[in-house]
Structures are given as C-alpha cells and as structure tokens.
Structure 1
C-alpha cells in the first residue's frame, strides 16, 4: 500500500489538487479529493489495489478505470 498511496499523493501534490486522508476501515486509507463540481474518494487497500468513487450529480462508484487519470489531468493548476 505504501508505494501506491505515496505515488497517488505525490501526483495530487504535483497537480496542486487538495485532498484529505482518513481511515475508516482497518485495511484502507481513504483519500478524499475535491475539485470543482465533484468529489472523489479513493480507497487504497493494504494490498495496493484502489477503488475510486466519484460523486457528481448522480453519486456512486464508477467502473471507468481511467477516471482518476482524467480528473488529475483536467484539474492540474
């Protein structure tokens, strides 16, 4: 998890995208990202896999594996 988590945080920092970290489950760290018009929750699991939920209009988990890349690219300052 450490590498995946820190890689994500470094990318968000480089893009100057605000985020917060929290821990709601014993096997994950939650990265909450807020950009104009949407909120994104990224659960980074102990084994390194991630789950991304995007909340805009109709809120819910997305099956779009490229969504996180587009969000970072489109919101880089």
Structure 2
C-alpha cells in the first residue's frame, strides 16, 4: 500500500492554503473534497496511488427560489 500520493496531494493543498476535507466512501480510496470559488473538486486517491479527479463548476450565488431545494430533495430521495 502506498500513501505517498495522498500525502503529496495534502501537502500541496496545505502549501497553497486550499481548504479540503477527507472522507471514505469506498474501501479502496480516500476522497479529498476541495471547494474553491466557482468550483468543487472531488479527488479519489486509490490504495495503489493512482488518482481520479472530478470537477463540478457552477454558480456559487444563492438561489432565492425555495422550490429548488424541494426539487433537489424530491429528485434525489431513495
């Protein structure tokens, strides 16, 4: 098992003063969630050291329409 890729990434984010959180959603990865202006980034760091990156871009502005929240909950409920 290699942890070098994970620690290298965390050190780079720390040096850049970019806020992140860590979580585990899968047994073979650590998820590094990064939020910067206008973008959310999910980085899966795998046990073997390879990395997959997903980028989500969009507006960070608040929505005045409360129906948006209701729609999101309804469309994503189990």
| Structure 1 and Structure 2 fold alike (TM over 0.5) | yes
* CA distance in structure 2 between the partners assigned to 1:29 and 1:43 by the alignment: 6
Provide the alpha-carbon RMSD of the alignment: 0.7
The residue matched to 2:7 in structure 1 has which SS?
Answer: helix
What residue is the counterpart of 1:32 in the other structure? 33
Q: Structure with the greater relative contact order (CA < 8 A, sep ≥ 6): 1 or 2?
A: 1
1:51 aligns with 2:52: yes
Greater radius of gyration (CA): 2
Aligned: 1:23 with 2:24: yes
Give the TM-score taking structure 1 as reference length.
Answer: 0.72
Q: Deviation string for 1:16-50 (max 9, x for gaps)? A: 00000000000000000000000000000001000
Q: CA offset at residue 53 of structure 1?
A: 0.1
1:72 corresponding residue in structure 2: none
The aligned length equals: 57
Aligned to 2:12: 11
Query: Which protein has the bigger strand share?
Result: 1
Instruction: Please give the TM-score of this superposition, normalised by the length of structure 2.
Output: 0.71
